[in-house]
Amino acid sequence: MRFLIIINIIYIFSTSYGSTPINLSLSYQGGYDDNVMRFSKKEISDASSNLKYLGGSKTFDSYVNKIQFGFDKTLYAKNKKEVIYNSSVALSDYVHNSNKDYWSGNISVKYKWGSYRNLKYSLRHLNSYYLRHYIDRDLSLNDLKPCSFTDNDQYLSISNRINKKNWYIISFGFLQRYYDNPFTEFDLNIYYTKVRINKKIKKYGTISFQINKSVADNVTFTKTGISSDFDRSYESIEWYMPIKINSPIAIVENFGISFRQELRYYNAEAVNDVLHAGRDHVDNKLDIWFNKSLSENLDIVISARFRSRETGSSYSWVRDLKSFKQMQLWCKIKWGFSYDKY
């Protein structure tokens, strides 16, 4: 709620200052997720005989509806220098799993002094994102409770040109991932750095390469119930390579493919915490998308994501429990227009 108040205050300010138009956008995204709660094969087998694992849902998959409203405005413009404000609010509805419904929002302010040259501050809020039902081991060995977390993420990034066709982006961020009761023992403060190199290939498109480094501190370690005796801190490194190609055929404006791989290592070494001790995982995400401009203000994007996580552990049951596969299919329609009261 506080996040929405901040958005409204900045919106009032942005609309009352300057003679530049307000750019508005409205998008609808419909999709399908074949493994909403990221169940492993073993968990799917267990849930088939014990529906409590589904948390009230009747299926492992779901259709998804997302609606997003965004607006941006140039607060200051002189020569090549601009100050640009941008914000958005999105609602997500999971048709076959109401536990997954959530809202999110984002605000950012960018100071731009040339092509690919800018300094940007961004604040993102993800509200009560449901994972699945887990056992609350502080109270029971078999009772399942819903597990959700809220993200407050902020980062500062700088973009600058290397030459006419190449530029870089460096970001420094702080993410607070705090869990709803009764799972506060998982609360994390995550510090991350991102470095991205982009290359524009004339007539063909762009290719980028990005490295992310994260350190997550389990801030509630030993501070809550019995289950907080296990350290959930971890370190991760991720690389990401998106390729965007200008389409040679009229039916598609452009299309692209990206691959992302994260390697995560947990700090826990307690002999009585075999679920986390010595555990790591490799998380792979392959994305494919096609974009078409239907008109000057109307775009459509069709995309697919294929995800697989392979967990490493000395215990085969941990590997089987924490590895999963997921497929998502999406169609997004975005309408944008400008409002100029001057």
pLDDT tens for 178-207 read 999 989 989 999 999 999 999 999 889 999
Residue with tokens 């994305």: 287
Measured between alpha carbons, how far is 5 from 82 in angstroms, rounded to an integer? 25
Helix and strand numbers, DSSP H then E, in the chain: 3, 14
Greatest extent of the chain over all pairs of C-alpha atoms, in Å: 68
DSSP assignment, residue 279?
-
The residues, any chain, with a CB within 8 Å of residue 150's CB and separated by 6 or more, are 125, 126, 127, 128, 129, 177, 178, 179, 180
The band of 230, judged by pLDDT with boundaries at 50, 70 and 90, is confident
- Which of 17, 54, 24 minimizes the C-alpha distance to 37? 54
pLDDT tens for 254-271 read 999 999 999 998 876 665
- pLDDT average, residue stretch 43-69: 87
Q: Give the total number of structural domains in the chain.
A: 1
Sign of CA dihedral 72, 73, 76, 81: positive
| Whether residue 20 has pLDDT greater than 90 | no
For residues 208 and 241, the answer to whether their CB atoms sit within 8 Å is yes
pLDDT tens for 82-136 read 999 999 999 999 999 999 999 999 999 999 999 999 999 999 999 999 999 988 7
3-state secondary structure of 237: strand
Measured between alpha carbons, how far is 222 from 277 in angstroms, rounded to an integer? 16
Residue type at 289? W
Measured between alpha carbons, how far is 244 from 238 in angstroms, rounded to an integer? 20
* Structural domain that includes position 133: 2-339
Q: Cα 260 from chain centroid?
A: 13
β pairing state of 254-266 and 234-246: antiparallel
pLDDT tens for 272-312 read 666 666 678 899 999 999 999 888 889 999 999 999 999 88
- Which of 197, 200, 208 minimizes the C-alpha distance to 242? 208
Burial of 5 (0-12, 13-18, 19+ CB in 10 A): exposed
Measured between alpha carbons, how far is 256 from 25 in angstroms, rounded to an integer? 23
CATH number at residue 13: 2.40.160.40
